[in-house]
Structure 1
Amino acid sequence: MSLPGQRWGVTDVELSARMPCDAALSGSVVICDRAVPVDAPPPLVFAWLCQLRAAPYSYDLLDNFGRRSPRLRDPELTDLAVGQRVMSVFELTDFTPGEQITLRAKSVAVTYAVRPETGAGSRLHARVRFRGPAWLLALPVFGDFLMMRKQLLTLKECAEREAVAFG
């Protein structure tokens, strides 16, 4: 069963790529992939991914208690350690500096990966695994799609703005 928002912006190669979250959550799962091109170098995009430790970068009114996610990057947030809280509800379970972070909550696992794109750009790819049957997850998956789409586009905007300002 295909759900709305299960796939957005990803290439077939990205869809078939193995990601660390693929090993999480046994049993019935729904997998969603979303990706966006970013006109900024991979190290900068990864540094913006690390900002998820401070805020969700989505619809702040809904998922950040009305506080605006910071638009200036805090370099200290790139100091990652397994077990750190991310977006207040996730735990950092795995990371590869400059490449990916993997997060886990009770019934959700997600990997955000940054890959170089032809030229000086990047691809920001997120894969989410939800535990449970597809029919039960239709509404949460669609809601996550809206939130994550906004999140990826906000991180893209922040990284691109910094790349232009300091590039």
Structure 2
Amino acid sequence: MRTLTVVGGLAAVAVAYSPPVRRWYLNWGATPDEVDAVLPGDGLLPDAGLRSTRAVTIDSPPAHVWPWLVQMGSGRGGAYTYDWIENLFGLDMHSAYEILPQFQHLAVGDVLPLGPDGPGMRVEVCEPERTLVFRSEDRRWVWGFHLAQRWGGTRLVSRNLIAGPDASLARRLTGRLVMEPGSLIMERRMLLGLRARAEAYLPDRAPVFA
């Protein structure tokens, strides 16, 4: 049994390190052109150790996506993902099912909290219905959202840039085996949550969810 466990663990490492699998979980939903694109905010962390590009198509115009996007955050509209997981880390995430007027006015320079102990996320680029880019106050993480109109709907691209690890081999392995695939689970849920809300959005009334 112990031998099987060791073999299984080594197999998991091999799969996680295989280039095709890693490309898939870092670039879920994105086209090759989107993965290769230079996007606003990329220059804020040009030597990122990790870069992910994930995307989703939303059957609703950018004007209906933007209000849900701009209100995201800890103590705000949440992240539209698994709140219970986020809140295990004290992030105070409560995903909203309605547009919250009090959180619709982001501007460059605003800083949003990331839980009680994490570095704040500073707004670096804010172009309504087009681009929203945050950078952590410790300058180790840049997260950008990019909207483009497509056939009456929206193509939403999420780009993450994270500074390279300066940690031990064990921590680098943990990042590769746990954090990178785990980020796909959370971000995929977030993108699909955004899509569901934007597609249900009607300007004259609260969205209705099945």
1:112 has 2:145 as partner: yes
Q: TM-score, normalised by structure 1?
A: 0.85
Identity fraction in percent: 27
Q: Does 1:145 align with 2:165?
A: no
Q: Contact 1:56–1:87 (CA<8 Å) still a contact in 2?
A: no
Q: TM-score, structure 2 length as denominator?
A: 0.69
The amino acid of 2:127's aligned partner reads: T
Equivalence for 2:40: 20
Determine which structure has the larger strand proportion and give its number.
Answer: 1
State which drifts further: 62-71 or 147-156.
Answer: 62-71
- Aligned with 1:52: secondary structure? coil
What CA deviation, in whole Å up to 9, does each residue of 1:111-159 have, x standing for no partner? 10111012x21111101011115x8231322222111111111111111
Whether the 8 Å CA contact 2:79–2:94 is kept in 1: the answer is no
| Partner AA of 1:69 in structure 2 | S
SS at match of 2:63: helix
Change (3 A) 1:59 1:44: same
- Kept in 2, the 8 Å contact 1:82–1:94? The answer is yes
**Where do 5+ consecutive residues of structure 1 fail to align?**
none
Q: Distance in 1 between matches of 2:112 and 2:39?
A: 19
- Specify the alignment match of 1:34 in structure 2: 54
| Larger gyration radius, structure 1 or structure 2 | 2
Q: Which has the higher contact order (CA 8 A, sep 6+)?
A: 1
* CA RMSD, Structure 1 to Structure 2 (Å): 2.5
Single out whichever of 81-90 and 40-49 deviates more from structure 2: 81-90
Query: Which runs of structure 1 show a deviation greater than 3 angstroms over 4 or more consecutive aligned residues?
Result: 64-68, 163-167
**Which whole-Å CA distance do the structure 2 matches of 1:57 and 1:19 have between them?**
24
Question: Aligned equivalents of 1:87 and 1:161: distance in 2?
Answer: 28
